[in-house]
Amino acid sequence: MPFALSPMTSALGAEVHGLDLRAPLSPEDFDALHRALLEHLVLFFRDQPLDPEEQLALARRFGAIDVHPFGRHLERHPQVGLLDQTSPKRDGANRWHADSTFMPRPPKACVLRAVELPATGGDTSWASMYAAYELLAPPIQRLLDELTASHDVTGPLVRAIQGGHSVGGLEDVQAAWPPIPHPVVCRHPDTGRKLLYVNSNFATHIEGVSEAESEMLLHFLFDWIRSPEIQVRFHWEPDSVAIWDNRCTQHFAAADYVERRIMHRVVVAGDWEPAR
């Protein structure tokens, strides 16, 4: 089943045309789709009315399914996450992040489908962490190449609790997921390209430097990731689907709506420990 790609920016993102994600993909078609994901980092599809089983089957082509440790899930399909929000700004939204980098092996990829959308707003943006690294001046790259950051689940959980959500016992969660170090700059396991690997949800400090130096570096990097030239923005329609590589992107869901927004998310388990 041949398909066409329409790149959306020079940094990342492509819309895929002519592919029905409900139909089984041949090995050749899946290989082409996987290559497109590695090249464009995030792929977008329109008019894909996948049911939960079909969404899971699609995600399994990329690897084993991982159940996100927090949040809601579909009752009959517990491997499908349910994002059901209204006025999400009060929930601590509006933060650039990669998913679950507090894990030793963070998720490889995500498959997200729009189910119900507000009349306006609710776009999602993605940023290329390849470009975030490659656009830095060489002296800054060399500095970051040697650094390690600690990633901690505590911050997002505290914000969720403050927003009125139940996440279980905070101390139990912290014990299950203690802070973990990851290199500030990693190499992608499939492409070998260097990428920036800190995000404002989970990276709490740079190891081996003073608190002031850590705050300065992280503030600079978090601000750098907001650069428009490394981003793509997607306007959802019902049954739109996005597949992204969680290892080399960050995303940002705009909390600019007050009506209900329902999304179904499937997470592909990590098969890589971030490394230089």
pLDDT-above-90 percentage for the chain: 85
The closest alpha carbon to 2, from 10, 12, 23, belongs to 23
Among 97, 182, 247, 264, the active-site one is 97
| 276 within some domain | no
- Is 42 part of any domain? yes
Instruction: Read off the DSSP letter of residue 16.
Output: E
Is residue 273 in a domain?
no
Catalytic pick from 99, 205, 247, 261? 99
pLDDT at 94 over 80: no
Which residues share a beta bridge with 66?
A: 267
Q: Count of alpha carbons within 13 Å of 125, Cβ hemisphere only?
A: 22
The helix/strand/coil state of 115 is strand
175-224, pLDDT tens digit by residue? 888 999 999 999 999 999 999 999 999 999 999 999 999 999 999 999 99
Q: What is the pTM assigned to this prediction?
A: 0.95
The pLDDT value given to residue 167: 58
**pLDDT at position 168 over 90:** no
Q: Which pLDDT score, from 0 to 100, does residue 160 have?
A: 62
Clarify whether 265 is annotated catalytic: yes
Name the catalytic one among 40, 68, 188, 251. 251
- The domain of 135 spans 4-268
The reported pLDDT for the residue numbered 163 is 56
Is-catalytic flag, 219? no
99 annotated active-site: yes
Among 1-10, 79-88, 165-174, 208-217, where is mean pLDDT lowest? 165-174
Mean pLDDT of 228-242: 99
Q: Is 116 helix (H, G, I), strand (E, B) or coil?
A: strand
What does DSSP say about strands 65-66 and 241-245: parallel, antiparallel, or unpaired?
Answer: unpaired
Structure tokens at 239: 């049954």
Query: What's residue 55's pLDDT?
Result: 99
Give the pLDDT confidence score for residue 25 in this predicted structure. 92
Is residue 251 within 8 Å of 153, Cβ to Cβ?
Answer: no
- Judge whether 88 lies within some domain: yes
Q: Is residue 275 part of a domain?
A: no
pLDDT tens digits, 27-81: 999 999 999 999 999 999 999 999 999 999 999 999 999 998 778 999 999 999 9
| pLDDT of 175 | 84
Residue type, 183: P
Average pLDDT, the chain: 94
* Residues 92-121, mean pLDDT to the nearest whole number: 94
Give the per-residue pLDDT at 174: 82
Give the pLDDT band (50/70/90) at residue 169: low
Does 17 qualify as catalytic in the annotation? no
* CATH number (domain holding residue 91): 3.60.130.10
Q: Is it the case that residue 22 has pLDDT exceeding 80?
A: yes
Amino acid at 93: A
Residue of 260 and 177 predicted with greater confidence:
260
- Give the closest residue to 244 by CA, choosing from 77, 69, 145, 107: 107
Please, which pLDDT band fits residue 162 given cuts at 50, 70 and 90?
Answer: low
Q: Domain tally for the chain?
A: 1
- Hey, what are 169's tokens? 């016992």
- What is the phi/psi pair of residue 174, to 5°? -65, -35
